[in-house]
Chains A and B, each alone.
Chain A
Amino acid sequence: MGFFDKFKLNKLKESLTKTRENIFGKIQNIISGKTKIDDEVIDNLEEILIGGDVGVSTTMRIIENIRLRVKKDGYQDTADIDSILREEIQKLFMNGYTENGEPFSIPSINKPHVIMIVGVNGVGKTTTIGKLAYNYRTNGKKVLIAAADTFRAAANEQLEIWAERAGVEIIQQRQGSDPAAVSFDALKSAKARDVDVLIIDTAGRLHTKVNLMEELKKIKRVVQKLDPQAPHEVLLVVDASTGQNAIQQAKQFMAAVNITGLILTKLDGTAKGGVVIAISNELNIPVKYIGVGEKIDDLQPFDNKAFIEALFEKAS
């Protein structure tokens, strides 16, 4: 593990400390003074998971598995619960999880590699795109951003600032123009300019708005006229403070544009992470990146092992 990786891991741990303190600090509380796993311990565990936005059905599943194992393997000691819980959560993560390979690398056969970013309003799409572009650029890729959020006031201006920070170029038209047309033009010029990665920013939309979801499908269709394989990735950005509605979001965006991965943002706040488990479990969509701050390098490839490891490391 290189220095850089280590640095990143530390930062991840740091940003997850709150989650850890919350969940596993609580586990310590439950088991202090107790040596046997009984109903009370299990009940408390349930509360902790639900309190972490894991959701009722996923929590039930985890608890059920723990109960079974306690019964079958004869775990009795509360000290075991930490490791059982870790294993159970990891199991759920493994659903739909594929090896990411090198972070911020792309298959060389796609030229350009087209990434479409989608999500509901206010989750941090534009900010994430800035960070994503920066990471690809520093990895030696030529990056272009398509400003296809033509709806929100000043979306272009905001994206311009992020593009400048990331040191990449941007293709835009005036507010109110057709986002599909912007994307089409952007891909055309990406091809002409020999760009490696094209990132399409789309307007935030609630997944229940039929017309807006149709608009998203249209962007995809139009882009496919130039490259039938594009977009190679469709990433759904999810705000970590979102509750169970994140599952609905994932379902609807999946149905419309077949999302290939998730980006979990604002993980630098308090007590989150549960949504990821629920979505991984119920929809088999891997989490690709996490956002842990407002600076341009605050985007990290999601590594579930490190995530869980960091989650379970006892606060020192």
Chain B
Amino acid sequence: MFEDLTNKLEIVFKKLRGQGKITEANITESLREFRRVLLDADVNYKVVKQFIDDVQKRSLGQEVLTSITPGQFIVKIIFDELVKLMGSAHTEIKFSPMPPTIIMVAGLQGSGKTTFCAKLANHLKSKGNFPMLVAADVHRPAAIDQLEMLGKQIQVPVVAERGKNAIETAIGSIEKARKAARDILIIDTAGRLHIDEEMMQEVETIKQRVNPHNILFVVDSMTGQDAVNTAKAFHDRLDFDGVILTKLDGDTRGGAAISIRAVVNKPIMFVGVGEKFDALEVFHPDRMATRILGMGDIVTLVEKAQAQFDEHKAQKLEEKIRKAQFTFEDFLDQIHEIKKMGPLQQVLSMIPGASRIPMDAEVNDKALVHVEAIIQSMTKEERQKPQIINGMRRRRIANGSGTSIQEVNKVLKQFTEMQKMMKTFSKGKIPNLLRGMKVAS
């Protein structure tokens, strides 16, 4: 699907090539394609309309830099506007000077509230806080059991009072936190439809009675057009402080992020990216914009690479590759450069055609860490001349990097293969390099 888009855009861009100024006529066509991209990504159609109109106005009459085409220029404007729309600054949890800091978590059924509560508790605990979880979902069968089990796994106490209603449980938990000297209270509320008056009343009452310092709205990143309605309904009742996007480890484009931001203007604070407790990440608007645009588009990769690769280094590298003098030092540099661009899976996904790769081999950054450690455990001489690495050196490298001799052998073998591969092409191309990396990992 993304390749399809890239092709279409290329056709549009071709027509635009050679024109020095953006005119209404030459952007209408490419904006129509972008409109479709955004709609396919589940951005609400009203938000899309507004957004495209804004971009059109903003880009009209602008001079295009000589180095790029008007098409690329529009891509950049759209990308920048998306990032801006989703907010540039990261927002943190507000801490109360008088502990406990109360965090209330609300959202629809199945959005992932309970899992998020546990992840957040785990995150805060690792930062030196003493969180306490409150099971205020008294409606869903076994929701209290679930939170208790999760609490046990991350070793965080859980307030669970079967038989009491959600409001009583929430109010009572404040005193319990004080007595147990816990400085953070995370209240897990029941999932509810935003049109369920009775349940919305309940969560509103909890808010009024416990006065939370932070109210977080949890939303499934796969949500479609309806995201604006739910976000607005919850916002009208709770005036929440931040949004949590869950299940972003799937392949959803996550247009809901834009819709919500546009409708309620509250920051997205965290994203959930897996089922493990540490699968919680700070939100990056630029990564999200890339994802929503589904830039299976080499343009972004080039743009990102251009910004982050040191021009000079790149030239040197190209020279080295041409002369087949690629050493482990360069390999290490490459790993660092690629890490700067974001998670490897995401970098890969930007390469047209690579979107299918992760299905048969899950690429992860952890694999890179091992490779990095192995190279770092080599001496300078070894990095320059890998052929001198004998059995004894291999054992030392394995010990030094905390890996095994087998892993060291694998990296060495793959490095040799990469060197061979590089001899075969005359120009250093990033996609090829990456493919080499993937094999190596």
Interface residues of A (CB under 8 A from B): 18, 47, 50-53, 55-56, 120-124, 151-155, 157-158, 160-162, 175, 206-210, 239, 241-246, 248, 266, 268-272, 274-275
Contact = CB atoms under 8 A, between A and B. Distances in A.
B439 to A, nearest CB: 18
A239 B110 contact: yes
Nearest to A270: B229
B142 A158 contact: yes
A82 B359 CA distance: 43
Contact of A153 (B149, B222, B247): B149
Interface residues of B, number: 48
A33 to B, nearest CB: 22
Contacts of B256: 243
Contacts, number: 138
Between A153, A157, A160, A207, the greatest number of chain B beta carbons within 10 A of the residue's beta carbon is seen for A153
A210 B360 contact: yes
A274 B193 CA distance: 19
B251 A248 contact: yes
A210 B362 contact: yes
B128 interface: no
A18 B253 CA distance: 27
B42 A51 contact: no
Contacts of A271: 225-226, 229
Contacts of B229: 270-271
Contacts of A209: 249
A270 B251 contact: no
B294 to A, nearest CB: 11
29 contacts: A18-B195, A51-B45, A51-B225, A56-B39, A120-B222, A121-B275, A124-B109, A152-B146, A153-B150, A153-B153, A154-B142, A154-B149, A155-B146, A158-B141, A158-B145, A206-B249, A207-B250, A207-B251, A208-B251, A208-B358, A208-B359, A210-B359, A210-B360, A243-B223, A243-B255, A244-B42, A245-B222, A266-B110, A274-B225
Contacts of B359: 208, 210
Contacts of A208: 249-251, 358-359
Nearest to B42: A243
Contacts of B41: 244
Given A53-B226, A270-B229, A245 B252 contact: yes
B255 A122 contact: no
B45 A55 contact: no
B188 interface: no
Contacts of A243: 42, 222-225, 227, 252, 255-256
Contact of B111 (A122, A152, A155, A207): A122
A268 B226 CA distance: 13
B39 to A, nearest CB: 5
Contacts of B360: 210
Interface in B219-265: 220, 222-227, 229-230, 247, 249-253, 255-256
Contact of A55 (B40, B109, B148, B153): B40
The 4 A-B pairs at the shortest CB distance, nearest first, are namely A243-B224, A122-B110, A243-B42, A154-B146
B140 interface: yes
Interface of B: 36, 39-42, 44-46, 108-112, 140-143, 145-146, 148-150, 153, 193-195, 220, 222-227, 229-230, 247, 249-253, 255-256, 275, 358-360, 362
Contacts of A206: 247, 249-250
Contacts of A207: 250-251
A269 B227 CA distance: 11
Give the dominant DSSP class at A's interface: loop
Between A51, A122, A274, the greatest number of chain B beta carbons within 10 A of the residue's beta carbon is seen for A122
A275 B224 contact: yes
Between B222, B249, B255, B362, the greatest number of chain A beta carbons within 10 A of the residue's beta carbon is seen for B222
Contacts of A153: 145-146, 149-150, 153
B141 A161 contact: yes
A56 B36 contact: yes
A50 B49 CA distance: 12
A310 B164 CA distance: 40
Nearest to A55: B40
Contacts of B252: 243, 245, 248
A266 B226 CA distance: 12
Nearest to B144: A154
Contacts of B195: 18, 269-270
Contacts of B148: 154
Nearest to A48: B45
A48 B48 CA distance: 14
A248 B148 CA distance: 34
Contact of B110 (A123, A268, A275): A123
A56 to B, nearest CB: 5
B46 to A, nearest CB: 8
Contacts of A56: 36, 39-40
A157 B224 contact: no
Given A51-B225, A53-B224, A157-B145, A124 B39 contact: no
A270 B192 CA distance: 12
Given A47-B45, A206-B247, A53 B225 contact: yes
Given A242-B222, A245-B222, A121 B247 contact: yes
B110 A50 contact: no
B423 to A, nearest CB: 33
A52 B145 contact: no
B362 to A, nearest CB: 6
A266 B225 contact: no
A248 B42 CA distance: 13
B140 to A, nearest CB: 7
B193 A269 contact: yes
A167 B356 CA distance: 45
A96 B142 CA distance: 37
A241 B40 contact: no
A158 B146 CA distance: 9
